[in-house]
Every structure is written in structure tokens, then in C-alpha cells.
Amino acid sequence: MAGRERAAEIRAAIDDLARVDGASPPLIGHVCRTCLRLAKAAGVCAAVRGEAGLYEPLCAVGPVGGAMAELQVTVGEGPGMETVNGDRPVMVGDLETADVQRRWPLFAPAASGLGAVTVFAFPLLVGAVAVGTLEIYWTRRPLGGAALVDGLLFADAALMTLMTGLAPGGGADDSYLDRWPQVHQAAGMVSVQLETGPAEAYARLRAYAYANDQSLREVARRVVEKELRFSPGMDS
Amino acid sequence: MLERRLGEMFVELADTLVAGFDVIELLHTLCERCVELLDVDAAAVLLADPRGALAFAAASTEQARMLELFQVQDEEGPCLDCFRTGVQVTCGDLGLEPQRWPRFSAVARDCGFTGVTALPLRLREERLGAMNLLRGRAGDLDEEAVMVAQVLADVAAIGLVHERAFGRSELIVEQLQSALTSRIVIEQAKGVLAERGQISIGEAFTLMRRYARDHNRLLSQVARAVVEQAPEVADMLATGTRRDA
């Protein structure tokens, strides 16, 4: 099928989904959910480049989407993290191969462990600058070139959506994001506890989550609900 | 002589293709060089804004600037026709065709111009604006001069498109980044206030919003001050506690 026809088809599918939610124009969540369905993927994440080049998730859908986004924030590496700081797509056919495991020593084994096999990450480019990324994860390898073309078209749609408004969410099934603000709230709280800046506090939260094998959102929830405090001498 | 000067001119214009140049500077150079190289007395450039309306951009003399301003205001003249159609528009003697652009012709003659040639500034199909070459004497500009001017205009057009693409994307990136950053900072500030005042996240947000409203400041500015532990944080907490007590 010609690229232009496919683009129109994808655009229409996103608009249809947005209409069901009474949203116009579509939100980033509608782009991700449409992509998940049409690409028969196991996870789709949209993220932008946050402070200091960190990966800041905007939306994550599908069985592995939320876990992949959170994992990248926690360990500070991965396909999306690489894409928001570069200008070219990252495509990995098999996350279990040795060179991929070397490329992302923390991300790749954990992602494989959660069932992800293949990932395509597309930069959302404005001119030559990547402002974000759209990642698509599969639990088995997708078929050939169609997935690549679709991915590029969905990345275009995602960028357009971001440019019309930075609104996240856009779907009742996007519960992943509901607790995301807590991560930044917790960073604010920990910055007071440690008498440091929020960037350093954020790094400490991520290190704690990784070292204790807990999800970053769970650690953040415990901080916000005052179950967990950080102290300057504490070892994460 | 002309060839050598032309060569230097290309180098000069090509220099502007490097990032960080100024559009108005580029167009002034274009006008001045046309006057220097060709048998014309003045040159001026009109540029289209994003909505497609022409606006004055540069001129080699004050008279030319005046004339172009009138042309834009009256929405009549060779530059406008040239921009609309995308092809060269010329009139060797405005006195012989008074009805073609009645208001423009009158002002042009007051400014001392008799002959005009308007050339499109374009890159492929994209029309960017138009350049006017003005002469005091009547008579058509020779073919070679028109060709040279068009080539110069084409080189300048490349510079314009380059700058516009660059400028636009920078702005978008900046807007996206600042929208995102202020969202993050607001969440961080809630955490800072909650911890310092030993209040809930919800209470912290209410406090911050109220403070922003009372002091007529943006929420994102207040949040930034909180995160940077500015002195007003203590003030904010004291006010909040007092009101709540």
C-alpha cells in the first residue's frame, strides 16, 4: 500500500478512537493505543526529553509498555532513552543477543525477563532535534517492512499531537500515568530530606528502586505516603 | 569586473547559509549589491509572513523604503503582482501605463522612480516574497541584468528558507521543553512544600495556587521559587498555616 494511503488510514483510526473518548484533537494516548492495536504490539510508549536529557514518559500502554518506560527511567538506559538524545531510530530485532545485552547491560536483561523481544524506537524530530520518542515493543518478532513504515507514520502522528498540546493520558486504560506525578513529588520531598536539589534527589530515588528491586512508582508512593524517608547518611 | 564582483557576491550570500546569520542583514546585502552591480538606482524587498501577507523587509534607500511601505498599505503594485503570480513583473515607464497601478505609480514618481522590475523570491514552489528594482530613467532593464538579479534573489531565497526552518524548529523545541519542565517543577514543588510544612500533597498544591493568585504570579514561577528554596517559601508556609489555623 502506498505510504500516503496508509498515513490517511492511520490518521483516521486515531481520530476514530479519540472521538469515542470525546477528544478533539486526539491526545497522545489515542496515538499510542491505536499503534498498539494496528502494530499488534505488546507495548507502546511515548516520552519526551526531560531535564538533563532524562527520559520523561508521557504515555505507556499495553501489557509491557508501563514496565518498559519505568525501567528506562530507573536504570537510565534503553532504546527510548537513546532515541530522545539522538536523531535516528533504534531498532533491535532480538533483545537477548549478546551485543544488545552489552549495549544496555541493565535494561536489556530486565526487558527480556519481562517478555519483550523486539523494539523499534523512533525519534520525534523537530528539524534536526529530537524532542521525544515513540517506542513499540513486541513479544515476538514483527513481520518485515510494514512495521517500520507504520512506526514512522505513528511517530509523525505522535509529534503532531505533542505540538498541538502537551496533554498526556487520553485513555481510561492508561493507569500507568496516574501515579507518575508522584515520582516528581517524591523527588521534591527527598530533596528536603537530603538537603539537596531535586535532580540529585531523583537520582537517589532511582538508585533506591534499582537496588531494592522495586518499581520507581512504588518507591515514590511510599515516600509520598511517608512510609519511607531518606536521610543523608543512608545507603541506598 | 562584473564577473569578479558577482563571484564575491555569491560567496557573501553563501556565507549567510551558515547558522546564526541575520535575515534582514542578508536582504540588505541583496539590495545593496543589486544597486552596485546593475543599472538600477534602488532595490527593495518585501517578505511574506506566515499567513502569506507581504511586509516590508529591506531597501537600499529611504525613498525605496517609503515606496514599498505604500505598496503594502495600498495592496497594489508590481511586487504584489509578482508575489501573487510567482513570475517577473516589469514596467519600463510608469508614465505610459498610468492605469496599471494608479496609486503606486503616483507615489513612485513622487519618489523619483520611472521604471520598475519585480522579481520573485522563491524556492521551488514556495513563494517567499519579491524584490523590486527601481530606476529613475525610463526604459527596460536589459535581459542579462534581470538574469543576474534573479540568480542573486534565488541564492538569497535559499538563505531565507534555511533560516526559517531553523528558527521555527528552535521555537517549537523550546516551547515543548518549557511546557514539560514547568509541569515537572510543579510536582517537585508540591513535594518540597509538603515535606517542609509536614502537610499533604493536596494541601501543598492549594497553598501554592493561593500564593500565586494572591501575588499575581504564574503557578510555574511560584513552583520554581519553591524548588529553589527561595525565602518566600517560609512566608508561604506561614501564611498557609495561619489561614488554616
Q: Please indicate whether, in this complex, the C-beta atoms of B187 and A224 are within 8 angstroms of each other.
A: no
Compute the average pLDDT of residues A207-227: 94
Compute the average pLDDT of residues A204-230: 94
- Domains annotated for chain B, with CATH where assigned, are 2-165 (3.30.450.40), 181-244 (1.10.10)
Whole-number pLDDT of residue B50: 60
A175-181 long-range CB contacts below 8 Å, 24 or more apart? A176/A57, A176/A59, A176/A60, A176/A61, A176/A65, A176/A66, A176/A69, A176/A70, A177/A57, A177/A58, A177/A59, A177/A60, A179/A217, A179/A220, A179/A221, A180/A57, A180/A217, A181/B187
User: Does pLDDT of A82 surpass 90?
Assistant: yes
Whole-number pLDDT of residue A200: 92
Interface of A with B in 1-60 (CB under 8 A): 48-51, 56
Whole-number pLDDT of residue A177: 67
Q: Contact at 8 Å (CB) between A201 and A62?
A: no
For chain B, which residues score pLDDT lower than 50? 19-20, 244-245
- Cell for A111? 526487558
For residue B164, the chain A residues in CB contact (below 8 A) are: none
For residue B196, the chain A residues in CB contact (below 8 A) are: 192
Strand arrangement of the beta sheet that strand A129-138 belongs to: A55-61, A43-49, A129-138, A118-126, A90-92
For residue A188, the chain B residues in CB contact (below 8 A) are: 187-195, 227
Q: Please indicate whether, in this complex, the C-beta atoms of A189 and B227 are within 8 angstroms of each other.
A: no
Q: Please indicate whether, in this complex, the C-beta atoms of B172 and A163 are within 8 angstroms of each other.
A: yes
Model confidence pLDDT, tens digit, residues A131-148:
899 999 999 887 667 788
Burial class (CB in 10 A: 0-12, 13-18, 19+), B220: middle
Distance from CA of A93 to the nearest CA of B (A): 31
Burial call A12-44: b when 16+ CB within 10 Å, e when fewer: ebbbebbeebebeebbbbbbbbbbbebbebbbb
Q: Please indicate whether, in this complex, the C-beta atoms of B192 and A129 are within 8 angstroms of each other.
A: no
Virtual CA dihedral for B30, B32, B34, B40, nearest 10 degrees? Answer: 140
User: Does pLDDT of A100 surpass 80?
Assistant: yes
Residue from B161, B172, B180 to probe the interface with A (highest A Cβ count within 10 Å): B180
Q: Please indicate whether, in this complex, the C-beta atoms of B192 and A191 are within 8 angstroms of each other.
A: yes
Q: Contact at 8 Å (CB) between A17 and A41?
A: no
Q: Can you tell me the distance from the alpha carbon of B89 to that of B206, in angstroms, rounded to the nearest whole number?
A: 64
What are the strands, taking DSSP E only, across chain B?
42-48, 54-59, 89-91, 115-123, 126-135
Q: Contact at 8 Å (CB) between A28 and A97?
A: no
Q: Please indicate whether, in this complex, the C-beta atoms of A185 and B173 are within 8 angstroms of each other.
A: no
| DSSP 8-class letter at B94 | G
Q: Which residues contact B238 (CB under 8 A, 6 or more apart)?
A: none
Q: Is A212 helix (H, G, I), strand (E, B) or coil?
A: coil
| DSSP 8-class letter at A27 | P
Distance from CA of A82 to the nearest CA of B (A): 18
Residue from A49, A189, A195, A230 to probe the interface with B (highest B Cβ count within 10 Å): A189
| More reliable by pLDDT, A65 or B123 | A65
Dihedral-angle region of residue A134 (phi above 0 means left; psi in -120 to 50 means alpha; beta otherwise): beta
Interface of A with B in 49-108 (CB under 8 A): 49-51, 56
Q: Please indicate whether, in this complex, the C-beta atoms of B166 and A127 are within 8 angstroms of each other.
A: yes
Of B170, B181, B191, the CB nearest to A189: B191
| More reliable by pLDDT, A34 or B157 | A34
Touching check for B177 and chain A: CB below 8 Å? yes
Of B170, B177, B187, the CB nearest to A184: B187
For residue B183, the chain A residues in CB contact (below 8 A) are: 166
- Cell for B36? 552596485
pTM of the model: 0.61
The residue behind cell 507504520 is A150
Q: Please indicate whether, in this complex, the C-beta atoms of B188 and A190 are within 8 angstroms of each other.
A: no
- Type and span of the H or E element at A133: strand A129-138
- Cell for B242? 495561619
Residue of A nearest to B167 (CA): A127
Virtual CA dihedral for A90, A96, A100, A106, nearest 10 degrees? Answer: 100
In the A/B pair of chains, how many CB contacts fall below 8 A?
A: 83
Touching check for A199 and chain B: CB below 8 Å? no
- Cell for A190? 527527598
Share of chain A above pLDDT 90, in %: 60
| DSSP 8-class letter at B140 | P
Whole-number pLDDT of residue A162: 80
Model confidence pLDDT, tens digit, residues A147-193:
888 888 899 899 888 876 654 444 434 556 667 889 999 999 999 99
In angstroms, what CA-CA distances link B192 with A174, B12, B25, B181, B197? Answer: 27, 55, 48, 16, 8
Touching check for B174 and chain A: CB below 8 Å? no
Average pLDDT over all residues of chain A: 87
Whole-number pLDDT of residue B98: 86
| DSSP 8-class letter at B139 | S
The residue behind cell 553563501 is B14
For residue B193, the chain A residues in CB contact (below 8 A) are: 188
Q: Please indicate whether, in this complex, the C-beta atoms of A129 and B173 are within 8 angstroms of each other.
A: yes
| More reliable by pLDDT, B183 or A61 | A61
Distance from CA of A45 to the nearest CA of B (A): 17
- Cell for A205? 530515588
Touching check for A198 and chain B: CB below 8 Å? yes
